Structure 1
Amino acid sequence: MQEPQQLGKIAVEEAYQHPNDSKRILSDETELARVSDGGGVMPSYYRPIQSLLAEFDEIRLTRMDAAGIDHAILSLTAPGIQAIVDSADAEKKARSENDFLAEVVRRHPSRYSGFAAVPLQNAGAAAQELERAVVDLGFKGAMVNGYTSTQHPERGIYLDEAANDRFWEKLCELDVPLYLHPRSALSGGLRLYEGHPELKGATWGFGAETATHVLRIIFSGVFDRFPDAKLIVGHMGEALPALLWRTQNMFDLNPFDKRPQKTLEEYFADNIWITTSGSFSDSSLTNAILAIGSDRIMFSVDYPYSENQPAANWIEHAPISVSDRRKFCSGNARRLFRITVA
């Protein structure tokens, strides 16, 4: 039987780091160890990743071509702006990163788009920077790397807090999505992983932290206050599609003081998309299709933390319909982000 043609793809969770920051980290073994520990990885893993994060031309584009990835939406790698404590420093860094990314996109406008880095240390400033990035720079939305740090190591600012309503309002006004990306838990939560550094990053802790953040957003009524808000969650939904029924059931029995207007399944149907970033599993994909539907799933790689070719090979041979494969590879992303290039 004839093999189907390789489908063109749009990848929407693809990381970068400013070359100056990568050079600084790679030139100092102590700093490399610190940054690696913050991400729950080993320096031997992170050293080559750092070089790839800062590269945008020959290597990245060649690997995209080989995997049939026509277009990638780039975003500042975690923890990014969210790790900066001082508000003024965060605003300055966000603006600088967005200007840098805009230059990268201008070099390859048919191949790249951008997600804005936003300084949620001040929600008003974040809203202004989002508007600048979307209106003036042409970005497709915002990437937020988990909670935003504060002076207190055990206190972060989460997206459901009322102080961020101005930012959600601006997202709805501009009609662009927010991509919620993981970062390590606050210092108090890290006690769970003492003696087990292998668990605190993408192996386990990132997903648990991000899934909890999503549930905070839902149960705090963010989507009730902002029914047009659009949220993207990577890594096949951070296991939430598989846990929707149990979470909803136990919440119904124990709602405490929360009174959301809809069920979890309804919020996923109305406000939430997921991506395949770093999760190339037939069973996980099948579960996600059954739980949230094929219109809410988009292809992603999580490059350079994951490789383009295995991700592409998997989606091209996953046991799904041709219709769904087309949606996941590019159709759903084209509709959500209004992408017309490639």
Structure 2
Amino acid sequence: MTESEQRIVDGFSHVLPAEYKDALDSYAGGSHVVSGLLDSIPELTDVDRRLDLMDEHGVDVGVLTPASPPVETIADRRGAVELARTMNDGIARIATEHPDRFVGVATVPMNDPDAMVDELDRAVTDLGLQGALVYSSVDRRPADEPHLGGTGRPIDRPELDPFYEAVTDLDVPIWLHPTRPKTVPEYVGERDSKHLIWQLFGWPFELSAAMARLVFGGVFERHPDLDVIAHHAGGMLPLLAGRMDVHAELFETFGDADVGGDLSRPYVDHFRQFYVDSATFGSVAALECALEFFGPDRLLFGTDAPFDVDGGAVSVERSLEAVARLDVSEADRRRIYGETMLDLLA
């Protein structure tokens, strides 16, 4: 393959189908935690504008993942199922109308494990979507128990195992996305997170914590063929891999911790099972950390578009430039830009 034949696949971008946005606004009474943000980015809903963005920057294929917020933070179990179905129908419509440009990824109602399996099967088998996005924690509605110190329930709970089994049976990936509400403060005595800490720093932590629960909670052990694409280059994990190794050994040796003691192989091997995307918003150093830890075969081009002040242009430009600056072979760069993602979707 020559450089001119390079296909660029944005493996982690977001979409908000028009029919789903209407349903979301209806369930939320016209307002929710990020309603103003979603209203300000027309590229989430306007497919023509999204295609223009891709064409301008040479992106051949966009993998469309559901935009936040998680459906279970908006509605009860029944409503979350309805919202998920509406979202998935909308994403499938866009992918069907533009089969050469878009690949669709489903959302699932994470507050109903049985419905997660049913909707995954419908989305993949009937609608032709290529997997599902899950969030780093489950079932935390903004008004529910705002001061318990956590963001929701962990994703390694046994009741989610049938979902992970269904994912591997269907041979599709999971896209792992962080979530943390403003209503979870960092300090005692405060009602909300201040200075956007919940988003700027909280989301990378939540992503890393969810990755740790999948590993230490034995999800990869029970489902060794599970493919998980973690957003934002794997959050804090690549940067802190050395700390994790040293301190796990320290506390296992001199403390009462049992880190990964029930796993059949070293836990670091499980962590390297993740795929991660390049959505570091231009940070080459962060990508270099991810590249060193996960290797070039596990790093995928992804942008988080269109979540920036220019409808995705900033995210796409910075992601393209960061990957171009990596010190890798051209063969590895081709894999990062698209070949590995296309293999996952095959």
**Matched residues in 1 for 2:246 and 2:104: separation?**
38
Go from structure 1 to structure 2 and tell me whether the alpha carbon gap of 1:319 and 1:16 turns closer, same or farther (over 3 Å shift): same
- Number of residue pairs matched? 322
Structure 1 unmatched runs, 5+: none
SS at match of 2:109: coil
Question: What residue number does 2:339 align with?
Answer: 331
Q: Which amino acid aligns with 2:211?
A: V
Identity level (%): 27
Question: What residue number does 1:161 align with?
Answer: 157
- How far the C-alpha of 1:286 sits from its partner, in A, is 1.8
Q: Which amino acid aligns with 1:312?
A: L
Alpha-carbon contact 1:274-1:298 (below 8 Å) kept: yes
Alpha-carbon contact 2:282-2:322 (below 8 Å) kept: yes
Question: What residue number does 1:220 align with?
Answer: 217
Question: What TM-score comes out, normalization by structure 1 length?
Answer: 0.85
SS at match of 2:110: coil
Q: Which amino acid aligns with 2:12?
A: E
**Matched residues in 2 for 1:326 and 1:35: separation?**
38
Q: Which amino acid aligns with 1:288?
A: A
**Matched residues in 1 for 2:184 and 2:307: separation?**
26
Go from structure 1 to structure 2 and tell me whether the alpha carbon gap of 1:287 and 1:54 turns closer, same or farther (over 3 Å shift): same
Question: What residue number does 2:33 align with?
Answer: 35
Alpha-carbon contact 1:82-1:147 (below 8 Å) kept: no
Question: What residue number does 1:198 align with?
Answer: 196
- How far the C-alpha of 1:112 sits from its partner, in A, is 0.6
> Any residues of structure 2 matched to 1:12-23 within 5 Å, and which?
12-19=11-18, 22=21
Tell me which of 32, 37, 43 is aligned to 1:52. Answer: 43
Question: What residue number does 1:274 align with?
Answer: 276
Alpha-carbon contact 2:19-2:87 (below 8 Å) kept: no
Q: Does 1:299 align with 2:287?
A: no
**Matched residues in 1 for 2:197 and 2:270: separation?**
29
Residues 87-106 of structure 1: per-residue CA shift (max 9 Å, x gap): 11111111111111111111
**Matched residues in 1 for 2:159 and 2:110: separation?**
9
Alpha-carbon contact 1:144-1:180 (below 8 Å) kept: yes
Structure 2 unmatched runs, 5+: none
Q: Which amino acid aligns with 1:62?
A: D
Tell me which of 78, 88, 101 is aligned to 1:98. Answer: 88
Go from structure 1 to structure 2 and tell me whether the alpha carbon gap of 1:291 and 1:218 turns closer, same or farther (over 3 Å shift): same
Question: What residue number does 1:315 align with?
Answer: 323
> Any residues of structure 2 matched to 1:142-291 within 5 Å, and which?
142-150=132-140, 152-153=144-145, 154=148, 156-185=152-181, 187-191=183-187, 194=192, 196-201=194-199, 203-255=200-252, 256-257=257-258, 258-259=260-261, 260-269=263-272, 271-291=273-293
- How far the C-alpha of 1:68 sits from its partner, in A, is 1.4
Alignment RMSD, CA only? 2.7
By percentage of residues, which structure has more helix? 1
**Matched residues in 2 for 1:161 and 1:24: separation?**
29
- How far the C-alpha of 1:325 sits from its partner, in A, is 0.9
- How far the C-alpha of 1:26 sits from its partner, in A, is 9.5
Residues 284-307 of structure 1: per-residue CA shift (max 9 Å, x gap): 222222211110000011110143
